[in-house]
A and B are shown apart, each in its own frame.
Chain A
């Protein structure tokens, strides 16, 4: 009897969270789906009509779309490569016995807590500015011509900024994984004459594989949604040179007032994100049992 009572109570306790998330998932997505089949522009809101697949066709055949897909891929893959490779290297380094490890960790983790617009503006104005940035100071010191980063290498600049923001996350997760590595096994391998590189490839890397997977998948989810960094630095330009899919949809909705087109873009973004999500759910799901 007590258990039935508890079960009823448990259901009641779960209900608000489930109902809220259910509404949060179904209502906006349903509306996006609905609008994606409508001709609807906020500049002429009275003229709303059925559009069929026109919005999808229009969105996908826009030359900016292919550029945005390419930029999204460059952004995600570029940042993933930098953060995973450097993250492993830094995690290995600070896992060694060093003086001041606590402070080193704090300094390394700090960029993660800087909000995206601040991170981007700091880099844009303090570091990469063609006249007053530190990179320009260094270039002048070396007798070189300062680089106008956001004009000449807009996407690369954004990759650098975003990688700086996410490197701490990768490092921290990989370090956590590294610290659970069996020290005795390592010593045994060392005794057996395994070199540092062979120990890394055969022991450390397999042990970190799961953490690396998690880093890649979680970062991908967030990296697909990069927005503020682009907004405050390049505005997606020059041209479409640094427009990713998120920014393209934002532009359609907020600057072109094209509700139908932005909605179609949104549905495409959901499909892409879901492809990634399926893999993440599998990786996390294994841990639940």
Chain B
């Protein structure tokens, strides 16, 4: 009897959980469906069955030159992540493997730079970009995105590197491994999963960044976040086109996000929740 009731409660929980999940996912689902409708269908009342036309996707690409912001998004997200890793890996490595009495303070201070509201430095950054000709350039924005995510990258890498046991280094040293051997053959293979996770989360964060990308670009360097924001004033019938543009802007990152749930928790809580 107990088993029957636990089965019944499982059915109940399953129905409730699916109802919640589908409700929360609904805006995304409905956008995907609308992207497959014609403009006429998109405004003729609620319907979950589209005519499966790809015309909106084509229209977004031909009329709005979708590939340019898409390419910019890829370059900015990947470029800023690689730059951040180049700077952060040595720093996190040093702090994890030869910590000093200041290491904790340095880490806390890095975290504190993340607390600075972006808008507080809008004025100087905007003026610097205007005067140095960095405005609307990919290089300027790549550096910006690198800087704003650097603290998170250092922190995440640090929490991963710290989990690599120190004894393994001693064992390698006993076996006569040099510092170079240690780094190349012992530490690097153990560090790669952490680096990959960090990279994944940082690409997601950089891809979705929408304050600096909107402030510091107009046309040339505008990534998808800035491109989509330009849809805020509707021109005629644009529901299906907006949906198609949205789907293309979020699909790659949504899929990456599904694989990064654990890293998300660790990265965004600075290791405070694991």
List the interface of chain A (C-beta within 8 A of B): 6-7, 9-14, 16-18, 20-21, 24-25, 27-29, 31-32, 35, 90, 93-94, 96-101, 103-119, 121-127, 131-132, 134, 137-138, 141, 164, 167-169, 172-173, 176-177, 210-211, 214, 218, 221, 224-225, 227-228, 231-233, 245-246, 249-250, 253-254, 259, 262-263, 265-267, 269-270, 272-274, 276-277, 280-281, 283-285, 287-288
Q: Which of B38-46, B53-61, B133-141, B190-198 contacts A (4 or more CB under 8 A)?
A: B38-46
The answer on a CB contact under 8 Å between A274 and B115 is yes
Residue from B10, B109, B122, B215 in contact with A99 in the complex, judged by beta carbons closer than 8 Å: B10
Contact A107 B232 (CB under 8 A): no
A262 to B116, alpha carbons, bound, how many Å? 15
Collect the chain B residues with CB atoms within 8 Å of residue A103's CB: 21
Q: How far is the CB of B69 from chain A (nearest CB, A)?
A: 12
CB distance from B110 to the nearest CB of A (A): 6
**Looking across the interface, which residue of chain B has its beta carbon closest to that of A274?**
B115
Q: How many angstroms from the CA of A245 to the CA of B119 in the assembled complex?
A: 9
Bound: A126/B238 CA distance, A = 11
Known contacts A14-B94, A32-B124, A172-B265; A273/B116 CB under 8 A: yes
Q: How far is the CA of A119 from the CA of B24 in the complex (A)?
A: 12
**B52 → chain A closest CB, angstroms:** 18
Known: A11-B94, A112-B257, A284-B270. A126 touches B121 (CB 8 A): no
Cα A225 to Cα B117 with chains together (Å): 6
In B1-50, which residues have CB < 8 Å from any A CB?
Answer: 9-10, 13-14, 16-18, 20-22, 24-25, 27-28, 30-31, 34, 42-43, 45-46
Q: Is B221 on the interface with A (CB-CB < 8 A)? A: no
Task: Knowing A29-B121, A108-B25 are in contact, say whether A121-B231 is a contact too (CB < 8 A).
Answer: yes
Do residues A281 and B112 form an inter-chain contact, with CB atoms below 8 A?
A: yes
B113 surroundings in chain A (CB, below 8 A): 21, 24-25
B67 CB–A CB distance under 8 Å: no
B168, CB-defined interface residue at 8 Å: no
- Among B208-242, those with CB < 8 Å from A are 208, 210-211, 214-215, 224-226, 228-229, 231-232, 234, 239, 242
Q: How far is the CA of A180 from the CA of B128 in the complex (A)?
A: 48
A116, B210: Cβ atoms under 8 Å? yes
Asked if B117 contacts A273 (CB within 8 A), the reply is yes
Contact for B257 among A113, A122, A224, CB less than 8 A: A113
Contact B254 A90 (CB under 8 A): no
Indicate which residue in B45, B121, B214, B232 contacts A32 across the interface (CB closer than 8 Å): B121
Please give me the residue from chain A that is nearest to B253 by CB atom: A113
A280 contacts across to B, CB distance below 8 A: 115
A269 touches B120 (CB 8 A): yes
CB distance from B175 to the nearest CB of A (A): 16
Given contacts A117-B225, A172-B261, A284-B270, contact A14 B91 (CB under 8 A): yes
CB of A33 to closest CB in B, whole Å: 9
The reply to whether A228 and B229 form a contact with Cβ atoms under 8 Å apart is: yes
The residue on A at minimum CB distance from B73 is A115
Q: Are B215 and A118 in contact (CB under 8 A)?
A: no
7 interchain pairs, CB-CB under 8 A: A21-B113, A99-B14, A117-B228, A218-B269, A259-B127, A277-B115, A287-B271
From A28, A105, A107, A177, B261 is in contact (CB under 8 Å) with A105
Which residues 76-120 of B sit at the A interface, judged by CB distance below 8 A?
87-88, 90-91, 93-95, 97-98, 100, 104, 106-120
